[in-house]
Amino acid sequence: MPFLLRSSRHVVLCAALLLTVSCAPRLVARNALPHPAASIEPVYVATSRKLDRTGPDFGGARSFTLQHFRADISIPPTHETGQIEWSEGAPDTAREFAVVGTRIFANAEEMRRAVRAQHANSEATVFVHGYNNTLSEAMYRFAQMRADFRFPGPGVLFSWQSAGDPRGYIYDRDSVLFARDDLVRTLRLLTQGRGDTVLLVGHSMGAQLTMEALRQIAIGEDRHLLDRVSGVVLISPDIGPDLFRRQVQTIGKLRDPIVVVVSQQDRVLGLASLLFGSKKRLGVIDSPDQVEGLDVRVVDVTALDDGNGPSHFTPVTSAKAVDAIRELAASGGRQQSLLPWTTLGAPG
């Protein structure tokens, strides 16, 4: 009987997780001509997704070969901070996101040359998306992030083989392990120049992939590559705190402390915690004691949650959070200068 009760509880929890993350219809990136007042965000993409020839699109199937391309994403002049203005049909680029240009690269080296042609010896931002993401969603989200946060330097999306389906949580966790080698190759590719560095930004399950790739580099004793990692930011990381501690210990010293952005309002991680036996995930911790002794800085954005959706990407989807983080960065809030625990939006 206890087994049956536990099984029933897990079924209910899984159903709740599906309802939390699957309310909106899945939309796709569409091509259009640019609007003269729109801004263009070039997004370089390295993906281990398999090309679906029936689309054609890159789906959730796993490929043993990395594909490389660039998508020029048009951000409408009416864009609101934190939002992706999706189109349900042919995009109106005065009001909606659109793909206004693409370039397919023959190989990784061709993409590297394109990335570094205008950004030699600079910091590239590498975004690793999370669970239940399609390629279209990841491209548009990264373009929105680049527009809202005004990232300098080139932006590279590493799109691993998420099923893009809320029922694919276990599949996605396996895909994270499958993609580790490819992410390491991508980081090595982008840091070949003398002054080339990478800022790694991982969201949700993508944070797990980010940490596993860094751990793999450390185990391989490639300190040169680790030294080219200028920073690591983990947003709503879907990682167990104990596992994270072991990963950090294995990785060792980085140039700057790892930044972990948390929110206790994150309903996706709240449900995921229950699936892991009521053990909190790293993205919902509420005390600095849980990362004590680690070279980590925690930024708590709970107070900036706008109450819309599952609150799983608050630093990027809440306009208040975006403004607060931009202000923090403008005031010199690099990793080293942050307090071990910084609460944004707190009264006073």
Domain with residue 297: its CATH number is 3.40.50.1820
- In a 13 Å sphere around the CA of 299, the CA atoms on its Cβ side amount to 28
In three-state secondary structure terms, 142 is helix
**pTM of structure:** 0.91
Residue 10 confidence (pLDDT): 47
Q: 279-306 burial by CB neighbour count: b if 16+ within 10 A, else e?
A: ebbbbbbeeeebbeebbbbbbbbbbbbe
Residue 16 confidence (pLDDT): 47
Q: Residue 188 falls within a domain, yes or no?
A: yes
Q: Residue 132 falls within a domain, yes or no?
A: yes
Q: Residue 193 falls within a domain, yes or no?
A: yes
Q: What is the pLDDT of residues 312-342, one digit of tens each?
A: 999 999 999 999 999 988 876 556 568 899 9
- Could you say which DSSP state residue 279 is in? P
Q: Residue 198 falls within a domain, yes or no?
A: yes
- Could you say which DSSP state residue 159 is in? E
pLDDT at 100 exceeding the cut of 90: yes
Bridge partners for 49 per DSSP: 62
Q: Residue 318 falls within a domain, yes or no?
A: yes
* pLDDT confidence band for 61 (50 / 70 / 90): confident
Average pLDDT over residues 252-276: 93
Alpha carbons 171 and 323: distance in angstroms, whole number = 35
Of the chain, the percentage scoring pLDDT greater than 90 comes to 76
Alpha carbons 261 and 301: distance in angstroms, whole number = 7
Q: Residue 44 falls within a domain, yes or no?
A: yes
Q: Residue 348 falls within a domain, yes or no?
A: no
* Domains identified in the chain, total number: 1
Q: Residue 62 falls within a domain, yes or no?
A: yes
Average pLDDT over residues 54-69: 72
Helix boundaries (H) for the chain: 2-21, 108-117, 135-149, 169-190, 205-219, 223-227, 241-251, 267-275, 314-317, 319-330
Average pLDDT over residues 277-295: 92
How confident is the prediction for the chain on average, in pLDDT? 89
More confident residue, 6 or 162: 162
Structure tokens at 91: 């995009």
Of the chain, the percentage scoring pLDDT greater than 70 comes to 87
Range of the domain at 154: 2-343
